[in-house]
Amino acid sequence: DAGVTQSPTHLIKTRGQQVTLRCSPKSGHDTVSWYQQALGQGPQFIFQYYEEEERQRGNFPDRFSGHQFPNYSSELNVNALLLGDSALYLCASSLNTNNEQFFGPGTRLTVL
């Protein structure tokens, strides 16, 4: 049973560029959440997708957007990258009926 997978593992971008991160949920899960973990901090909630719609959003600007596909996989897009966007981006999946979230290994984004 595959767990949550994310791609790519690492990514280096320059300021102003755009990036897309991908996530495949654990088998059987229908809900995907995205978190940003800055160095030395706990994960911060970005948004959550269920039934291909953004269900809840954290305190992140509109430069952060996402999508969920019919197979429940998800993408996180960040436009106009800033140095401060450098972080580990975590995807977590869960069942809509149960808030136990399973995390992927993350994508390490470095913005130069």
Partner 1 sequence: AQSVSQHNHHVILSEAASLELGCNYSYGGTVNLFWYVQYPGQHLQLLLKYFSGDPLVKGIKGFEAEFIKSKFSFNLRKPSVQWSDTAEYFCAVSGGFQKLVFGTGTRLLVSP
Question: Would you tell me which residues interact with partner 1 (CB under 8 A)?
Answer: 31, 33, 35, 40-45, 48, 56, 58, 90, 92, 96-106
Q: CA-CA distance, 80 to 91, in Å (whole number)?
A: 21
- Report the nearest approach of partner 1 to the CB of residue 17 (Å): 26
Choose between 73 and 103: whose C-beta lies nearer to partner 1. Answer: 103
Place of tokens 């102003």: 16
For residues 89 and 34, the answer to whether their CB atoms sit within 8 Å is: yes
Choose between 78 and 94: whose C-beta lies nearer to partner 1. Answer: 94
Could you tell me which residues are beta bridge partners of residue 35?
45, 90
Choose between 81 and 107: whose C-beta lies nearer to partner 1. Answer: 107
DSSP helix/strand/coil, 10? strand
- Report the nearest approach of partner 1 to the CB of residue 6 (Å): 9
- Report the nearest approach of partner 1 to the CB of residue 45 (Å): 4
Q: CA-CA distance, 103 to 28, in Å (whole number)?
A: 14
What six digits make up the tokens of 112?
């130069």
Choose between 90 and 111: whose C-beta lies nearer to partner 1. Answer: 90
Nearest to 65 by CA among 101, 109, 9, 19: 19
- Report the nearest approach of partner 1 to the CB of residue 15 (Å): 27
